[in-house]
Amino acid sequence: MASPPILSLALPSNTGRVLSIQSHTVQGYVGNKSAVFPLQLLGYDVDPINSVQFSNHTGYPTFKGQVLNGQQLLDLIEGLEANNLLYYTHLLTGYIGSVSFLKSVLEVVDKLRSINPNLTYVCDPVMGDEGKLYVPEDLVSVYREKVVPVASMLTPNQFEAELLTKLRIGSETDGRKACKILHAAGPSKVVITSINIDGNLLLIGSHQKDKEQAPEQFKIVIPRIPAYFTGTGDLMTALLLGWSNKYPDNLDKAAELAVSSLQALLQRTLNDYTSAGFDSKSSSLEIRLIQSQDDIRQPKLTFKAHKYS
């Protein structure tokens, strides 16, 4: 038998090596199913740890499958460490279902940073949406007090940003202020992925390049699409990771590319369902991820960031 494999790590990566700890559903595009393929399209080596393996996502009437516990997560990390396979440029996390698992993730952050102090931790602090919590309440304080401080980039939605900052976000000024509070707590990059202000939908991004200076902030106006989709948040965070690494000093450009890709995909999804004769408002739609790969790899820039002065 050949001698032990040469680690692919020995080869330089043009882009990055991402450890992505998210759910896996056999069918559908949420969690790792939504995040990994786009990052691979953008040229990243992605190592997924599947925190669960379910038949389908939990929005369906029923689902079956298996859940990873914190110890099993750490076992996998141990296996990687034993083979010198723990050098990552990025860590990506999304939905986490329990405090114990979240605490194990914090151990992983420490471990990875002990090997690569420059690790970029992109954290989507998934807790809820539109005023409703869909994780156990005790996760909120763990995110706020333990996770945010160690994140490099945070991608909360409006509700999650409010929970983490204890600030009500009713205006663009509030959104910008929330970003500043989050910068002070940890991450130098914050993207509030969707804010509902006066009936308009906005993305607000903020990059604090220097702790002594005010952050560079911008907004992107997002169209309201008359349909529900699943997996778009996970996809958005993956795209933000992918593009912000390629444009590390231009978060606004990265966000423009991410939004352009996502919107093209959503339009295609809506069109495909409508063409097939479905009422897009009757239930949430599975995104046409595979069919939109060109839009992910080479998005047409259709959205512009407006920088705040």
Q: How far is the CB of 233 from a second copy (least distance, A)?
A: 15
Q: Which of 22, 23, 34, 50 binds a second copy (CB under 8 A)?
A: 50
If the CB atoms of residues 80 and 220 are measured against a second copy, the closer one turns out to be 80
Q: Which of 257, 270, 288, 305 binds a second copy (CB under 8 A)?
A: 288
Stretch of 19-27, 100-108, 196-204, 238-246 contacting a second copy, by CB under 8 A? 19-27
Catalytic residue among 124, 174, 234, 252: 234
Q: Which of 42, 49, 127, 265 binds a second copy (CB under 8 A)?
A: 49
Q: Residue 68 interacts with a second copy (CB under 8 A)?
A: yes
Stretch of 67-75, 150-158, 179-187, 201-209 contacting a second copy, by CB under 8 A? 67-75
Q: Residue 85 interacts with a second copy (CB under 8 A)?
A: yes
Nearest-CA neighbor of 209 among 157, 244, 257, 162?
244
Q: Residue 61 interacts with a second copy (CB under 8 A)?
A: yes
If the CB atoms of residues 42 and 179 are measured against a second copy, the closer one turns out to be 42
If the CB atoms of residues 27 and 141 are measured against a second copy, the closer one turns out to be 27
Q: Which of 44, 54, 101, 218 binds a second copy (CB under 8 A)?
A: 54
Note whether 92 and 241 are within 8 A (CB): yes
Q: Which of 16, 31, 48, 156 binds a second copy (CB under 8 A)?
A: 48
198 is catalytic: no
Q: How far is the CB of 296 from a second copy (least distance, A)?
A: 11
Three-class secondary structure assignment of the chain: CCCCCCCHHHCCCCCCEEEEEEEEECCCCCHHHHHHHHHHHCCCEEEEEEEEEECCCCCCCCCCEEECCHHHHHHHHHHHHHCCCCCCCEEEECCCCCHHHHHHHHHHHHHHHHHCCCCEEEECCCCEECCEECCCCHHHHHHHHHHHHHCCEECCCHHHHHHHHCCCCCCHHHHHHHHHHHHHHCCCEEEEEEEEECCEEEEEEEECCCCCCCCEEEEEEECCCCCCEECHHHHHHHHHHHHHHHCCCCHHHHHHHHHHHHHHHHHHHHHHHHHCCCCCCCCCEECCCHHHHHHHHCCCCCCCCEECC
Measured CA to CA, the distance from residue 190 to residue 279 in angstroms comes to: 35
Q: How far is the CB of 174 from a second copy (least distance, A)?
A: 27
Q: How far is the CB of 80 from a second copy (least distance, A)?
A: 5
Instruction: Give the residues lining the site for a second copy (CB under 8 A).
Output: 1-2, 4-5, 8, 19, 24, 26-28, 37, 40, 47-50, 53-57, 59-66, 68, 72, 75-80, 82-83, 85, 228, 230, 272-273, 276, 278, 282-286, 288, 290-291, 293
Active site residues: 234
